[in-house]
A = this chain, B = another copy of it.
Amino acid sequence: MLNRIILIGRLTRDPELRYTPQGVPVASFSLAVDRPFANQQGQREADFIDCVAWRKLGETVGNHLTKGRLVAVEGRLQIRSYEAQDGTKRKVAEVIADSVRFLDRPRDGQVPGSPADVGMTDDVAFPDDLPF
């Protein structure tokens, strides 16, 4: 009935922007989110969280974000279940973003024209999770 997640982290690689057969843009990216404490070996680990952005938000993400950029993502956690080729059940967990804010400025010469310190929001109400 309520499913809300807010993350701040850095992109582990450049986003991938693709299009559905119907031409709907969808960007995939992965965030490294540092855990708030050290593990038993005294190291600070991170969670690597897959995110998806659809439509206009997806295009903004795909066109302006790059590996290493710091962002705040708001969305919901979606769990998809499927059967693998070997017949075992698998699950995919991903955050369906409805807002992505850029929290640092791009490094020089990275993405010309990228909107520094600007956020994008996806307020249009569509089914954000076509099975693509």
Residues of A within 8 A of B (CB): 1-9, 18, 20, 24, 26, 33-40, 47-49, 52, 54-55, 70, 72, 74, 76-81, 86, 90-91, 93, 95-96, 98-99, 101, 103-104, 119, 121, 123-132
Contacts and interface: CB of A to CB of B under 8 A. Distances in A.
Contacts of A33: 1-3
A74 B9 contact: no
A86 B48 CA distance: 22
A129 B74 contact: no
A129 B95 CA distance: 10
A26 to B, nearest CB: 6
A1 B5 contact: no
11 contacts: A1-B8, A1-B9, A2-B74, A3-B5, A35-B129, A40-B130, A47-B76, A77-B77, A77-B95, A91-B93, A104-B104
